[in-house]
Every structure is written in C-alpha cells, then in structure tokens.
Chain A
Amino acid sequence: MGFMQSAAKIRAFQVIFALVICTEYWTKALARWADVDAADGMALAAATLLGAAALSGRRRRTVFAGFAALQAWYVWSNFPLTGNHRYLELFFAALFAVLDDEKEEERRLLLRSVQWTVIVVLFYSGLQKLAHGYYFQGQFLAYSLWRDSFRTALAPLVSPEELGRLSSYSGSVGDGPYLVSSPAFLVVSNAAWLLELALAPLLFFRATRPMAWIAACVFVLVTQLVARELLFGVEFVAALLLFARTDIIRRAVLPAALFLGLLVLIRLGMLPEVIFH
C-alpha cells in the first residue's frame, strides 16, 4: 500500500470518527435538552470544537488527545453504565494522539492497531454470545421480540403461532420458554455468533481479507440496523473499510456525514421520529 493511500485512509477514518463522536454528544443532548447540566454542556461544546478542529486537519494529534480526554471523562463520570463504544472511542482517540501518521513507521503501526482492535471486538462479540449460551435455541432474540426493531426483522422467520406465544410473555419471572423451533430463526440466531467468530480470523489473514471485510460490513450494517445502534454501526463499518486495499473509505466520508446529519435532524424534530442509539 502506498504511503499516500494509507495516510488518506487514516485521515478519512479520523474524520468519520470525529463526526460520530460529535453526533453522539449532540443527539444525546438533544434527546433531553431540558436536563442538560453544566458538565454535559461543557462536554458538548468540547466535542463540537474538537470535531471542527478534526475537520480542519490541523494539529490532529492534539485534537485526538482532546477527544481521548473527553471520552475518558465520559467513561469515568458514567461508570459503570458506560456503553462499550465509548471505551472503543477512547482507545482509538488515544492511538491517534500517540502515533504520528505523518511518519511511515508509526502510520503502519496505527493502521494495524486499529485493524487489530476491530478484530478483537468482533471476535469477543461472538465468543461472549457462545459463552453465555443464549443463541443456540434463539433465546436472546426471542426475548428481544418486545423491541419493535427486533420484532420487525425477526417476525417473518417464525410461524404466527410461535410469534404469538413468544409475544405473550412480558419478561416476568415464570415467563417462557423463550425457546424457538423455527429453523429459519435458529439459523439467524446461530449465524450471529458464528459469523462474528469466523470473520475475525478471516479479517486477520491477507488471503481472506478482501472477502471478509465486505462480509463483515454487510453483517455489521444489518445487525446494527436491527439493534438501532446506528452511531456505533457507522463507526464500526468505517473501521472495517480500513481493511480494504483501496481507499474506499474516502468515498464513505460524505455519505457518513450526511447520514449523521440526518440523525441530528431527527433529534431536532425536523424529520420523523426514529428510535436509535
């Protein structure tokens, strides 16, 4: 990979990354504007200024040190409620602050570190599902049918009788069994953890990487859409684009920015309400 190409890829990812963090702070604040306190207001202002600085492209390592400090503050002040994507953002921002992507050796380590992080997250997401055993017989997804987005996506996979039975549970003690007999539902349930476990090593090896990053992007887009984890979805898909040989991620900056803008407009009430996280 050429120096210019890998540098451009990293910068494109940094722009999307910075925009995602800004959007997170803005959409969170807009959702409960009346309750925004001084600390939240300061964090919002800091995220906005840092985002603008990241877009300008100047003093990027200082900017990402600022993002790292901001996310560290967030993790600390919300611990242990903090969502995992905040830890991921803290880690990425710290990498961007520590490693200088103007220097070839550090840029190579930076790119590999981000890619390794993506592989670790994907692998352990699958391993956790395997370890806790809620996917073999569709238990977790059956339980999640109370959420509209899961219900919309999964209802076509079960018979009306089974859907009726699973929907009749209220999540109270004594409810169940949250076990599914529909083969299609079980395939989807087990594919979730199997794909995560399989895609991680496939992303690692050079020979399988081109196929793996495309499959991983599709998989992450679908799962994050169902879970309505739209901000994390944008961030993680952008990170997966770093596995591509080409600099396709540069062409993803504008669509990502437009999509994130739409999410802000939704929170502002200028577009129809859509639930997302």
Chain B
Amino acid sequence: MSGLKQAAVRVALVALTVWPAVHIALVKRYDVNPWKLAGWGMYSAPQLPSYVQLTCLTPDSVGRYELGSLQPELEPKLQEFLLLRRHLGRLVEPDELARALLDYYPAIDGVDVTVVEPVLNPRSGMIEERSERYEYRRRSEDMATPSVAARQRSGCR
C-alpha cells in the first residue's frame, strides 16, 4: 500500500473523529442543528420550526410598521433564509433577505428582521421563545445596499 494512500485514509479518519467535537461546539455556540452536518446528533434535541417577523423602518412620521404579508417575489428569499437558519443556526444572518426587502421597497430606509425560535428548555422542560433582532439601515451614500456597518444585532435568549 502506498504511503500516500495510507496517510490519506488516516487523515480522513482523524477528521471523522474530531469533527463531531467541533460540531458540538458549533451547536452550543451558534445553535447549529445537532441533527445535521455529520455530527451524529440525530435525536439529541427537538427540532422546532423558527419564523421571522419583518418590520419596515421609514424616514417619515410613520416610523415603523410590521410587514404582515410578504410579496410572492420575496417569499423564496424568506424561505431560503429560514431553511439555512434552521440548520446552520446563527452562522446565517438575514443579510440577503434584508437586501431584497430594501431593494423591493425603495421608500423605506431600514428593515428590522426578528428571528423567532421556539426552544425546549432542557432544565424547565418548557417550550420558550428566543428571538434575535437584526436591524439594517440604508447607507446614505448607497441607499440600495445595507452594509455590515449599518446592521445592528440584538438578542433575547
């Protein structure tokens, strides 16, 4: 057997052995779904569906209003974000969704995306709500594109 082949198999086995430990850390730190990404955490925690609340921020006297229903054109962006968020946790932020909303609604100058995630608290056994709020503002020099600098994140955990 060639040394290269043997080394490749051994490296793969080490990666297979170490990765789930990294995965557990990602689950703890970023709420990555323990069921996914080859961490072997199937059936280790309930999977509860998350959703988002969208609020438009306007420069006029209205100030802010909740977006009750989403335009069909924007629905795929929302579903894509929710899917990624449910599996990759807080490694995924709603930048693309916010950008699509700001592009679609030129009259607003910001958008507030609140991700609401029901979780089963293992200590109390109760299903609780956890939310994370992301606020995006248009930059004055580039009204169409939200930037990282213009984004604020706050959480309620």
Instruction: Give the residue of A84, A116, A137, A172 whose beta carbon is less than 8 angstroms from that of B13.
Output: A116
How many Å from the CB of A175 to the closest CB on chain B? 5
| Majority secondary structure, A binding face | helix
Chain A residues with Cβ below 8 Å from B53 are: none
Say whether A219 faces chain B, with CB atoms less than 8 Å apart: no
Which of B3-11, B93-101, B105-113, B135-143 makes up part of the contact surface? B3-11
- Once the chains bind, are B8 and A134 in contact (CB under 8 Å)? no
| A106-B1 contact given A84-B36, A120-B17, A125-B42, CB 8 Å threshold | yes
Instruction: Give the residue of A80, A109, A176 whose beta carbon is less than 8 angstroms from that of B127.
Output: A176
Say whether A132 faces chain B, with CB atoms less than 8 Å apart: yes
| A139-B40 contact given A95-B9, A99-B9, A113-B13, CB 8 Å threshold | no
Could you tell me how many residues of chain B have their Cβ less than 8 Å away from some Cβ of chain A? 44
Say whether A272 faces chain B, with CB atoms less than 8 Å apart: no
Chain B residues with Cβ below 8 Å from A134 are: 44-46, 120, 122
Say whether A32 faces chain B, with CB atoms less than 8 Å apart: no
| A109-B6 contact given A125-B42, A127-B20, CB 8 Å threshold | yes
Chain B residues with Cβ below 8 Å from A105 are: 1
Say whether B66 faces chain A, with CB atoms less than 8 Å apart: no
- Once the chains bind, are A80 and B84 in contact (CB under 8 Å)? yes
- Once the chains bind, are B38 and A125 in contact (CB under 8 Å)? no
Say whether A179 faces chain B, with CB atoms less than 8 Å apart: yes
- Once the chains bind, are A87 and B38 in contact (CB under 8 Å)? yes
Give the CA-CA distance A211 to B120 in the complex, in Å: 37
| A81-B20 contact given A128-B41, A140-B45, A173-B128, CB 8 Å threshold | no
- Once the chains bind, are A98 and B5 in contact (CB under 8 Å)? yes
Give the CA-CA distance A179 to B20 in the complex, in Å: 28
- Once the chains bind, are A175 and B126 in contact (CB under 8 Å)? yes
Residue interface mask B16-33, A partner, CB < 8 A = 1: 110011001001100001
Chain B residue with minimal CB distance to A82?
B36
Chain A residues with Cβ below 8 Å from B48 are: 171
- Once the chains bind, are B37 and A80 in contact (CB under 8 Å)? yes
| A128-B125 contact given A94-B12, A120-B20, A178-B120, CB 8 Å threshold | no
Interface residues of A in 138-152 (CB under 8 A from B): 139-140, 142-144
Interface residues of chain B, those whose CB is within 8 Å of chain A, are 1, 5-6, 8-9, 12-13, 16-17, 20-21, 24, 27-28, 33-46, 48, 83-84, 87-88, 118, 120-129
Interface residues of chain A, those whose CB is within 8 Å of chain B, are 80-84, 87-88, 91, 94-95, 98-99, 103, 105-106, 109, 113, 116-117, 120-121, 124-125, 127-129, 131-134, 136-137, 139-140, 142-144, 169, 171-179, 227, 229
Q: List 18 A-B contacts (CB under 8 A).
A: A84-B38, A84-B39, A88-B38, A91-B16, A124-B20, A124-B39, A128-B44, A129-B41, A132-B34, A132-B44, A134-B44, A137-B122, A140-B45, A143-B120, A173-B118, A175-B127, A176-B120, A177-B124
Closest CB pairs A-B (n = 10): A177-B125, A128-B41, A176-B126, A179-B125, A87-B38, A80-B87, A128-B44, A124-B20, A133-B122, A124-B40
